[in-house]
Amino acid sequence: MRLAEQNRTSEKNDYKIIAVDDEGGIIDSLAVFLKRSGYTLIGCTNPLEAIERVKTEHFDLMLLDFIMTPIHGDQVVEEIRKFNQDLYIILLTGHKDLAPPLETIKRLSIQGYCEKSDKFDQLLLLIESAIKSIQQMRVIQKINQELKQSRENLEKAYLESIEVIRQTVEAKDTYTRGHSDRVSQYSVLIGKYMGLSETDLQTLKIGGLFHDIGKIGIPDSILLKETSLTDDEYSQIKNHPAIGKHILSNATVFQDIIPIVFHHHEKYDGKGYPMKLAGESIPLLARITSLADTFDAMTSKRSYRNALALETVIEEIKTCSGTQFDPKIAAVFLTILENHYEEIEKIQIHTKLD
């Protein structure tokens, strides 16, 4: 085996994966498949024993069957979440119709689910995405420990970590390069016109930079796809706020921006995701970031269309005021666009918007 391949295999073995299924044959098949892919798997056929094992051993990832005896997979997660919020869990279902309700998946922080089949290709994609997220969690945990050890370097390390992780996300998609910078600066601009405090403006700044951090856990095959997404692929894209929340939840320095990361795709009328919050139940700073995010999407060139004209964008914001956007925030931003557009242009020039 070549040195590079040995290093990759060694890196994969750094992650402890536990599979829980009351069918021993499934465990054996998973073990063989994942070993061939470079991973080491620990199997458990008794869900109650699996809970106890997670209490006493460290695992990074759990592959969990849903329909089991004596308890189902959602009950297993319910117990684990009482003492472990960090374990990344992928739920396996025999059939999509047998999957638990979406609200249960959200409440228990189940990061993904996959239908069982003779082929494990889709599962492998989810595992590789999970490992990426876990890698980021480890980086952030390490940063957090370093920050605790040296308050003198807190601000420097904080800002450096933001830059590193932000560039990691944007490196995946050339069409969104500079997107997080602009969303951050548009959000701060709106916040200033709303008279928000310096603390809120700083949170908007960092939250805007990090709002799409969860996309690090979305497979490149989906994120970079130029044709239309399938319903399943779009569902995976919609997981990125929850993945982002999961990544950042381990670092105390990022707690203030988690509401932005988790809720920036909510809509004022309650038809957004992931929690379908409505009105002022959506955190204020997330409502601001949502408008800034959408504005940048409309005014940026994409592979499938050119940037929209300013007049079109203004009309779209007016149309969506009260449905997608908070009408008060939309009114403030429309004032900026119609009377102070030079401030928008400064941001676009600074971030080199094409």
Return d(Cα 262, Cα 275) in angstroms, integer: 9
d(CA 202, CA 189): 11
Q: What Rg do the C-alpha atoms of the chain give, in angstroms?
A: 22
Among candidate residues 215, 276, 318, 346, the one labeled active-site is: 215
Residue 192: active-site member? no
Instruction: List the beta strands (DSSP E) in the chain.
Output: 17-20, 41-44, 61-65, 88-93, 112-115
Which of 256, 257, 254, 262 is closest to 282 using CA atoms? 262
CA distance 190 to 183: 11
Q: 3-state DSSP call for residue 9?
A: helix
Residue 114 dihedral angles phi and psi, to the nearest 5°: -145, 140
User: Pick from 39, 54, 1, 44: which is nearest to 21 by CA?
Assistant: 44
How many angstroms separate the CA atoms of 352 and 350, rounded?
A: 6
Q: Position of tokens 């025999």?
A: 94
DSSP 174: G
Active site residues: 215
